[in-house]
Each structure stands twice: as structure tokens, then as C-alpha cells.
Amino acid sequence: MRRVNKSDSSVILQEKLTYRVGGDNKKLANVLCDEQHNICAYTETYLGRSDKKDIEHFNPTLKDTPDDSYQNWFLVKAQWNGEKASKWEQYQPILNPTDEAFEERIIYFEGDYLAASLNDQEAINLIKLLKLDDEGLAFERRCYLENLKETLILSDKTAQQYIDDLLMTRPSLVYYTRAIEEELGVKVNFDLVKTK
């Protein structure tokens, strides 16, 4: 998982979009999907047309209160939203996915996400709550990276060139962003998708 950036110039803030419990939140979901580049905020897997997507309230106790806001909303695959829903209280205190030091506190190592410090209870709790240590997902991530590396070798391009070209031609094939950046030493620049 990578740190989730929330933009001060988001359409959600500009148009004062709000989450409506039991209401139509399609526009809000679409904006979150665009901002997250069609990638699940928690699993970093691609959010395809056939995936059930949920607007996730990171802190569920804020849902349907005046304190619920853009900073608390993430688009995720429905399974992760459902699995997290009832466990919030037992994983406190917790690291927020927007925390400036997120990627220093939760490190990526050979396909796994680990707390940088065994004393960082907030990071440990986030890993457990969101199942960032899920073995099945870690296996998928490793396989994806192995395949990407093999294709990169065959492409005869630099890693950065290959990822840039892939973003411009087939952006739906670029996910597990943090793993790509860490393992290939590249920058995944989603602005290339907007300029193609």
C-alpha cells in the first residue's frame, strides 16, 4: 500500500460533494476513482468495470456525522470494505493512509508490507486491520512483479521507459504502484495518462 494523497484542489472540495447515506454517491465514487487512478486505496489492485467498488469511510465512526469528509473517503474493492467494517475499535490507535510519513512507517520488502518499527503500534494496527499482510494478496503482488520484470527484459527498454509507455498505452495494467516503484526504481507518473 502506498500513501494516499488527498488534493486541496479536488473536485470533491471544489464542488462541495458530500457522501449521502442511502443516497446517490455515483459522482463522488467516480471522482475518487479518477483521483486514485482506478486503483483500490487499500490493496492497490486495479478497479475494473466488473469490480464492486465501495466508498470506504476509513474511520467508520465518522460516517453520517458532520466530521465525515473527503479526508476520510477512499474508493476500495467491496471485499476489503466488508472485512474491515466491524473491526475498527480493536485496532486503535491507527495510522491514517494519508499520513505524511506513511511510507517510512510501513515499508515494502520483497512483496510484503511491514511496520518499520516493532514499536509503531499505529502502523502495526493498520497492517492488521487492512490485511496488508494477507498472504494471498502478497503472492498476487509477487507474481505480478515477476511477470512485469520478465516483460520489461523482453521489451529492451529502461524500466522507466517501459512503465511510462505502459501507462500511456495500457494504464489498466499498471497497479501495485508502490511495489513497481520500489522494485524497479522508477516513478509511476499517472499524469502521462491524462496527457495521452
Query: What's the CA gap between 107 and 51, in Å, rounded?
Result: 28
Query: What's the CA gap between 89 and 129, in Å, rounded?
Result: 10
113 and 167 part of one domain = no
183 and 152 part of one domain = yes
Query: Is 1 a member of any domain?
Result: no
95 and 20 part of one domain = yes
Pairing outcome for strands 53-57 and 106-109: unpaired
Query: Is 48 a member of any domain?
Result: yes
| Domain of 169, in residue numbers | 137-195
Give the tens place of pLDDT for each residue, 39-53.
Answer: 999 999 999 989 999
Give the tens place of pLDDT for each residue, 117-142.
Answer: 999 999 999 999 999 999 999 999 99
Query: What's the CA gap between 176 and 191, in Å, rounded?
Result: 17
Query: Is 3 a member of any domain?
Result: no
Q: What torsion, rounded to 10 degrees, do the Cα atoms 110, 113, 119, 121 define? A: -170
Q: Are 38 and 47 in contact (CB under 8 A)?
A: yes
DSSP string, 77-145: EHHHHHHHTT-GGGG-S---TT-TTHHHHEEEETTEEEESSTT-HHHHHHHHHTTTT-HHHHHHHHHHH
Query: What's the CA gap between 18 and 70, in Å, rounded?
Result: 8
43 and 117 part of one domain = yes
Q: Strand ranges (DSSP E) for 35-90?
A: 53-57, 73-77
Confidence of residue 86 (pLDDT cuts 50, 70, 90): confident
97 and 21 part of one domain = yes
109 and 163 part of one domain = no
103 and 36 part of one domain = yes
**Amino acid at the residue 184:** L
Q: What is the distance of C-alpha 181 from the center of its chain?
A: 14
pTM, 2 dp: 0.92
173 and 124 part of one domain = no
Higher local confidence (pLDDT), 178 or 195: 178
**31: helix, strand or coil:** helix
129 and 142 part of one domain = no
The total domain count for the chain is 2
Give the tens place of pLDDT for each residue, 147-156.
Answer: 999 999 999 9
The average confidence (pLDDT) of the chain is 95
pLDDT at position 195? 57
